């Protein structure tokens, strides 16, 4: 038993030593795409040396609701609520206001919903946070889903313009769009999903890139999930994924 405890402590110490510095942890969002809050908290704690943001998607939010937001905030994470709001402006606004009051830092909406819908979401999201005396959050517009490799080239620029006009603070895009978005809207936070290790399984992310490649291309926030959460050893997977970003030991 003593040996087992010692081994666990060694693993934890190694994980912390292999983690990222704070300025890089703040740029890494762990996608907790599970349907159980206990499992989500376990993964978040285990991988906290590398991730400062926890992303809650439709699966976890449907399973656990607002409780998952509170639990992750209590764990020291910023929360990225990725529920991709897309409805009439009034409905989106009401939902966004609740998210802001919960303490969510990032909230996604489909740019396809148009300027009026995005504006309702942005304004209400900020209002919810302000009413709760919380820091100003960032509304993120989804341009094209990263699983869609066949979207026409004009779609991303058009939806970026909608997002900027509506006051969205950030955009979710593929790594291949980073340069163009940076030139068109340099003040807009750029969020990239589909991050994988070099040569790793891309799953349903045809435009997957490595963390270093995405950051070098101008990404401000990286969303990383299955590359680590589905690994037999998530800590080892994270260590390898971020190996070229970690400081020398």
Neighbours of 15 (CB within 10 A): 19
Question: Residue 219 contacts by C-beta under 8 Å, 6 or more apart in sequence?
Answer: 27, 175, 178, 190, 191, 192
The reported pTM is: 0.87
Nearest CA among 162, 217, 224, 242 for reference residue 29? 224
Taking each continuous run of H as one helix and of E as one strand, the counts in the chain are 12, 8
Q: Give all domains of the chain, ordered by start, each with its CATH number.
A: 21-241 (3.20.20.70)
Provide the b/e sequence for 98-135 (b: ≥16 CB within 10 Å). ebbbbbbbbbbbbbbbebebbbbbbbbbbebbeeeeee
Active-site positions?
A: 84
Query: Measured between alpha carbons, how far is 203 from 218 in angstroms, rounded to an integer?
Result: 24
Predicted confidence at residue 196, as pLDDT, reads 75
Query: pLDDT for 10-54, tens place per residue?
Result: 344 344 446 999 999 999 999 999 999 999 999 999 999 999 999
pLDDT in tens, 129-160: 999 999 999 999 998 765 556 666 678 888 99
Q: H/E/C letters for each residue in 99-134?
A: HHHHCCCEEEEEHHHCHHHHHHHHHHHHHHHHHCCC
């Amino acid at each position: 038993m003593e040996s087992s405890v010692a081994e666990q402590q060694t693993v934890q110490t190694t994980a912390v030593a292999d983690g990222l510095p704070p300025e890089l942890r703040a740029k890494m969002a762990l996608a907790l795409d599970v349907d159980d809050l206990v499992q989500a908290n376990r993964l978040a704690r285990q991988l906290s040396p590398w991730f400062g943001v926890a992303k809650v998607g439709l699966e976890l939010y449907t399973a656990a609701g607002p409780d998952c937001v509170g639990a992750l905030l209590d764990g020291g994470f910023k929360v990225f609520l990725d529920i991709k709001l897309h409805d009439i402006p009034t409905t989106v606004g009401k939902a966004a206001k609740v998210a802001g009051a919960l303490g969510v830092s990032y909230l996604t909406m489909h740019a396809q919903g148009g300027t009026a819908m995005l504006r309702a979401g942005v304004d209400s999201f900020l209002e919810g946070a302000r009413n709760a005396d919380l820091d100003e959050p960032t509304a993120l517009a989804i341009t094209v889903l990263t699983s869609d490799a066949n979207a026409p080239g004009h779609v991303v620029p058009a939806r970026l313009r909608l997002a900027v006009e509506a006051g969205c603070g950030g955009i979710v895009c593929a790594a291949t769009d980073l340069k163009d978005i940076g030139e068109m809207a340099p003040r807009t936070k750029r969020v990239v999903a589909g991050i994988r290790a070099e040569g790793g399984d891309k799953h349903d992310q045809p435009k997957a890139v490595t963390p270093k490649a995405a950051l070098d291309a101008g990404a401000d926030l990286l969303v990383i999930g299955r590359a680590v959460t589905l690994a037999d050893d998530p800590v080892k997977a994270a260590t390898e994924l971020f190996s070229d970003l970690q400081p020398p030991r």
